[in-house]
Amino acid sequence: MFPEAENLEFDLRDKENCERAVANADLVYNLASDMGGMGFIENNKALCMLSVLVNTHLLMAAKDAGAKRFFYASSACVYAAGKQTGPNVTALKEEDAYPAMPEDGYGWEKLFSERMGRHFREDFGLATRVARYHNVYGSHGTYDGGREKAPAAICRKVIEAKLSGHHEIEIWGDGKQTRSFQWIGDCVKGTQMIMNGDFAEPLNLGSSELVSINQLVDIVEDIAGLKLKRRYNLSAPKGVNGRNSDNALIRKIFGWEPSTRLRDGLERTYRWIHDQMTSNARAKSLERVS
């Protein structure tokens, strides 16, 4: 929250709230979605799909308000599952979203909303832009409660192990599944580039630094300065076996791609989550004493 900005709280599934939110706006960024990590996505498919109400009503409101541009935050979950069956993946290009077979629930909503933006551009002249986010992480993100993504979850688990002295960690799946993870600063920069640029079709916005979940844990352990015993929960949600971002198109258009090293971004994320967890623990301890 920034005190110099107007901050409104609305349920954007409601069309009237969307109209109030975009009144007098030139640029509309739709970053709103009911989503979380893979555990949430796999167990809440209907809730994820109901986010279509947000994008539908925001598009309608932006068109009626005369907004100049509309940005939609899509996801790498739109990509066809058949192209993500093994950990040694070929990086996904934008055209790999079709023939369509996205992540059930969440991915289908994202792909449908992409198409809606396209047709609002074609039929109504609203300049729409789309970025397909690949696993955004960083400071000030959710790190507990069930909606957190893998980098934040791993950081939290390692910190819990370090603070408790119980040097063990549970990993969902076999740890061999692969992903790329994008630092929030790169995501913000890329989002603004895409919004202000002339390219109207969906673009990948993600790092191309591919790692396994085991390697992700290795990095966080190294940051924390300890090694943990690993327990693999093979029945837990783990998503597709491999996914990476092909950045050829964004490099061609903007001469740029997300490039913050995973180690650098994770170190900043780890420090922030550690500070949050230790300060919360101190506050609870003081409450008990008082």
Query: Span 199-227, mean pLDDT?
Result: 97
Spatial distance between the Cα atoms of 70 and 68, rounded to a whole number of angstroms: 7
Angle at the Cα of 212 (from 207 to 214), degrees rounded to 5? 135
The torsion angles phi and psi of 219, rounded to 5 degrees, stand at -65, -45
Instruction: Give the model's pLDDT for residue 290.
Output: 61
Instruction: Give the model's pLDDT for residue 150.
Output: 94
Instruction: Give the model's pLDDT for residue 289.
Output: 63
Query: Span 9-29, mean pLDDT?
Result: 96
From the list 116, 5, 133, 109, the residue with the least C-alpha distance to 62 is: 116
Residue 54 DSSP code: H
Tell me the percentage of the chain whose pLDDT exceeds 70. 98
* Amino acid, single-letter form, for residue 174: D
What is the DSSP secondary-structure string of 137-154? Answer: E-TTS--SSS---HHHHH
- Beta-bridged to residue 194, according to DSSP, are none
3-state class (DSSP) for residue 169? strand
Q: List, for residues 170-208, the tens digit of each pLDDT value.
A: 999 999 999 999 999 999 999 999 999 999 999 999 999
Spatial distance between the Cα atoms of 108 and 48, rounded to a whole number of angstroms: 9
Q: Strands across the sheet with 69-75, in order?
A: 27-30, 69-75, 127-133, 203-205
Q: List, for residues 254-285, the tens digit of each pLDDT value.
A: 999 999 999 999 999 999 999 999 998 777 76
Spatial distance between the Cα atoms of 133 and 73, rounded to a whole number of angstroms: 7
Question: How would residue 18 be classed by pLDDT, with cut points 50, 70 and 90?
Answer: very high
Burial degree of 262 (CB within 10 A; 0-12, 13-18, 19+): buried
Both tokens assigned to 70 = 């509309």
- pLDDT at 122 exceeding the cut of 90: yes
Q: List, for residues 94-110, the tens digit of each pLDDT value.
A: 999 999 999 999 999 99
Query: Span 110-119, mean pLDDT?
Result: 98
Just list the catalytic residues: 106
Q: List, for residues 231-259, the tens digit of each pLDDT value.
A: 999 999 888 899 999 999 999 999 999 99
Instruction: Give the model's pLDDT for residue 85.
Output: 82
Average of per-residue pLDDT values in the chain: 94
Instruction: Give the model's pLDDT for residue 38.
Output: 86
Q: List, for residues 20-70, the tens digit of each pLDDT value.
A: 999 999 999 999 999 988 889 999 999 999 999 999 999 999 999 999 999
Within 8 A by CB and 6+ apart from 240, the residues are 81, 84, 85, 103, 177
Spatial distance between the Cα atoms of 66 and 27, rounded to a whole number of angstroms: 10
From the list 143, 253, 267, the residue with the least C-alpha distance to 205 is: 253
Angle at the Cα of 69 (from 194 to 193), degrees rounded to 5? 15
Instruction: Give the model's pLDDT for residue 2.
Output: 84
**Cβ pair 37, 137 in contact under 8 A:** no
Question: How would residue 130 be classed by pLDDT, with cut points 50, 70 and 90?
Answer: very high
Place of tokens 């005369």: 66
Both tokens assigned to 46 = 């209907």
Alpha helix stretches (DSSP H) within 130-261: 150-164, 184-196, 213-224, 248-254
Question: How would residue 286 be classed by pLDDT, with cut points 50, 70 and 90?
Answer: low
Instruction: Give the model's pLDDT for residue 281.
Output: 76
Question: How would residue 82 be classed by pLDDT, with cut points 50, 70 and 90?
Answer: confident
- pLDDT at 126 exceeding the cut of 90: yes
Spatial distance between the Cα atoms of 63 and 122, rounded to a whole number of angstroms: 12
